[in-house]
Amino acid sequence: MQWKKHLRRYSMVAIGSLIAGMAINTFLIPHQLFSGGVSGVAMILYFLFEWPIGVQIIVLNIPIFYAAYRLLDKDYVICGVFGMLIFSLATDATRFLANVHLIDDTMLAAIYGGVISGIGSGLIFRAGGSSGGTDAIATIIKKYYSLNVGLVGFSINVFLMLVAAVLFGVKPAMYTLLSFFVGSQVTDAVIGGLNRKKTIMIISEQNNAIADAILDEVGRGATFLEGRGAYTGQDKDVLFVVVTLTQIAKIKFIVEKTDPHAFMIVQDAAEVLGHGFSVKKRGAI
């Protein structure tokens, strides 16, 4: 059923691109705020010359996708071209939303613009898709210069905001940075889904009993790590567990019941791959 997998992937990329395009017209353009990457360049030129944003995105992406086709995975390029075209068409097709003025407050527009665009980007990333732009540039740079994709993309966006600050004033640029931050947080949340993962480390004299209870009552495996107390010099077993959010309360109850004096650390897991967990790959948008 390979065609179903591709249909689901491209459908999610299309929906995400449509949402991202609507966010630009509904929240950003009415308040002269900006998006990141190629769409940010297109918006700056739109505010200066009123050139259609979607058409500009297509034109600006032509040399980028040509380079990506020569240097990157062909499947990435095909999906990226699809996402870019949908995003461009959606941006121009929903241009009328900029005249609605749904929100009068610029701060709220920046926040909600980040939320909605973050949802759209998250759906694209979650499907392993792309909409081209500076993300393709960052992917190429990472491949040949081993630089972090996020760092490259952030650097490009900071440069764009400096240009925007010079042309349109500091305030729109500052609100745009707020929108960037909100959007990145929402994107990560959408990629991870509601079923986020946590890692738990437990140090206890009853680690064997705790591990057995976790296996029996929660249905989750655990790993013993070797540790040594810095002050006492004594060897200790450290119990390591990866769980979902809904399982944390149960494990806390097990630990407190088995050993009230146990030491426990709960941390976020950015990504969990392997047996027992679903594999989600984030594409380079």
CA atoms within 13 A on the CB side of 232: 6
Query: Percent of the chain scored above 70 by pLDDT?
Result: 90
Choice between 144 and 61, residue whose per-residue pLDDT is larger: 61
User: What pLDDT is stored for residue 270 in this prediction?
Assistant: 67
Amino acid occupying residue 234: Q
Closest CA to 11 of 116, 86, 94, 118: 86
One-letter amino acid of 274: G
Cβ pair 262, 251 in contact under 8 A:
no
**Residue 220 pLDDT level (bands cut at 50, 70, 90):** confident
**Could you give the percent of the chain with pLDDT greater than 90?**
49
CATH class name, domain 197-268: alpha beta
Burial of 8 (C-beta count, 10 Å sphere; 0-12/13-18/19+) = exposed
Check whether 203 has a pLDDT greater than 90: yes
In the three-class reduction of DSSP (H, G, I as helix; E, B as strand; rest coil), residue 237 is classed as strand
Domain assignments of the chain as residue spans, ordered by start: 2-192, 197-268
Confidence band of 109 (pLDDT split at 50, 70, 90):
very high
Looking at every residue in the chain, the average pLDDT score rounds to: 86
Distances in Å between the Cα of 181 and the Cα atoms of 36, 114, 133, 154, 242 are 11, 7, 19, 11, 28
Q: Which two tokens stand for residue 182?
A: 């909100």
Is the pLDDT at 174 greater than 70, yes or no?
A: yes
State the pTM of this model: 0.74
Confidence of residue 233 (pLDDT cuts 50, 70, 90): confident
Identify the pLDDT of residue 148.
60
| pLDDT at 46 exceeding the cut of 80 | yes
Judged against a pLDDT cut of 60, whether residue 171 lies above it is answered with yes
What mean pLDDT comes out for the span 260-282? Answer: 73
Per-residue model confidence as pLDDT tens digits over 141-169: 767 776 665 567 778 888 989 999 999 99
Mean pLDDT is lowest, of 12-26, 71-85, 184-198, for 184-198
Question: What is the band of 73 on the pLDDT scale with cuts at 50, 70, 90?
Answer: confident
Q: Which residue has the higher pLDDT, 134 or 48?
A: 48
Q: What's residue 91's pLDDT?
A: 95
Other residues' Cβ atoms within 10 Å of the Cβ of residue 11: 12
**115-125 burial, b for 16+ CB within 10 Å, e for fewer?**
bbbbbbbbbbb
Q: How far apart are CA 36 and CA 57, in angstroms?
A: 12
pLDDT at 275: 66
pLDDT at 130 over 80: no
Strand order of the sheet with strand 223-228?
223-228, 235-244, 197-203, 263-268
pLDDT at 242 (0 to 100): 92
In this prediction, residues 62-88 reach a mean pLDDT of 87
